[in-house]
Amino acid sequence: MNKFHEQLLHQHQHLWNAILNHPFLKKTAEGNIEDKTFKTWMRQDYIFVREAIPFMAVLLAKAPVAMRSMFIQIITGLEKELELFRKNAEAHGVNLETMEAAPTCHAYIQFLMNVAYNNSFEEGFTVLYTAEKAYLDSWMAVKENLKGESPWQQFIDNWTSEAFQQYVDWLAATLDELAEGKPEQDLTKMEQLFKLTARYEYLFWEMADKAEEWAV
């Protein structure tokens, strides 16, 4: 019997492949992504990471006592990641402060907060695993196909580092433990959240690539 996280990835392989083959990632790897497209992602992801902090904090409030210190480390890591965004924004002349979330970014953040407040810890954790695994695999795909040094190297390095891989391994192992012995209906809910999160991850690349904006 496969582990729970392996089952999720296997059953929804088409979704995962769609994420990893997104043109945004291909162009970033090939070095022909337009500056303004990458900067759109940078600005939107800054908002996403900033708002991931309250998401994690609500999950922390629901986490078993033994997991609290891990969540504190994760939140501290997010604060450091915001610094990485600010440094790169300054180096590339990007203004992060006058930003509004685009529709997809806005909806994704609302989804995160809704799950954190209204769903079980296991369900919230499934969303966390899926989002982090999507970033690990997406940036790994960029790294593997990279043609020379990228102007966006620090972002590539951030989500392909040994430490980040170990963190995602921990998330996968913990998700498997949380799923163990759960009734089928609980596992189905977790699977639905995996699917929704993967779909948002795909849409996030799409949003950056197409410079999505509010219609009015």
Contact residues for ligand MP5 (CB under 6 A)?
45, 48-49, 52, 78, 81, 131-132, 134-135, 201, 204
CB closer to ligand MP5 out of 78 and 196:
78
CA distance 108 to 106: 6
35 Cβ neighbours under 8 A, 6+ residues apart: 92
CB of 170 to ligand MP5, least distance (A): 13
DSSP state of 96: -
CB closer to ligand MP5 out of 83 and 180:
83
CA distance 90 to 35: 14
CB of 135 to ligand MP5, least distance (A): 4
CB of 132 to ligand MP5, least distance (A): 5
CB closer to ligand MP5 out of 45 and 209:
45
CB closer to ligand MP5 out of 21 and 188:
21
CB of 146 to ligand MP5, least distance (A): 19
CB of 158 to ligand MP5, least distance (A): 8
CA distance 162 to 22: 24
CA distance 143 to 33: 14
CB closer to ligand MP5 out of 4 and 139:
139
**Residue of closest CB approach to ligand MP5:** 135
Angle at Cα 106 formed by Cα 161 and Cα 62, nearest 5°? Answer: 65
Sign of CA dihedral 98, 112, 170, 194: negative
CB closer to ligand MP5 out of 52 and 178:
52
Contact 139, 160 (CB under 8 A): yes
CA distance 3 to 9: 10
CB of 206 to ligand MP5, least distance (A): 11
